[in-house]
């Protein structure tokens, strides 16, 4: 698949999961597979709209922690991306500010991993690795 196909796939799957979350008492009530899609959809959408800094501005560390928990065990390449992010953000009281003041280009770093992350996500969803645990 080319990059646009992955983005289209994630956008469509994310839309389904957001609609589902609206009917099941929010994203915390989603099963593990849907939660993984939701968390990656949030990161990817915020990243495409305004960058990794926008993700942290709008979502904060609590959302990053939820993404890290959902993705670490199921998306092998997430770990490398997360290390770079954690090196910049750490446990900052203002992760948005930490990202925009950093010399590390987390957007470029995400771009390097996006196709692999989305490939792993799609595979996990299709094979059921992201299903209830």
Domain-embedded: residue 98 = yes
Which parts of the chain fold into alpha helices (H)?
3-23, 32-50, 52-72, 78-89, 95-101, 106-127
Q: Which two tokens stand for residue 33?
A: 């597979």
Domain-embedded: residue 102 = yes
Alpha carbon 49 to chain centroid, angstroms: 14
pLDDT band at residue 2, thresholds of 50, 70 and 90? low
For residues 40 and 44, what is the distance between their CA atoms, to the nearest angstrom? 6
Specify the number of domains making up the chain. 1
Domain-embedded: residue 133 = no
Q: What is the pLDDT of residues 42-84, one digit of tens each?
A: 999 999 999 999 999 999 999 999 999 999 999 999 999 999 9
The domain in which residue 11 lies consists of 3-127
Alpha carbon 99 to chain centroid, angstroms: 16
């Amino acid at each position: 698949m080319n990059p646009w196909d992955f983005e289209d796939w994630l956008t469509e799957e994310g839309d389904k999961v957001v609609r589902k979350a609206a009917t099941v008492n929010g994203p915390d009530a989603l099963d593990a597979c849907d939660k993984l899609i939701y968390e990656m959809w949030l990161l990817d959408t915020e990243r495409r709209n305004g960058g990794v800094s926008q993700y942290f501005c709008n979502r904060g560390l609590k959302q990053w922690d939820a993404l890290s928990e959902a993705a670490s065990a199921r998306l092998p390449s997430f770990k490398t991306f997360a290390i770079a992010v954690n090196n910049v953000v750490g446990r900052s009281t203002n992760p948005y500010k930490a990202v925009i003041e950093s010399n590390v280009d987390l957007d470029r770093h995400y771009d390097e991993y996006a196709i692999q992350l989305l490939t792993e996500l799609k595979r996990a969803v299709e094979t059921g690795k992201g299903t209830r645990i």
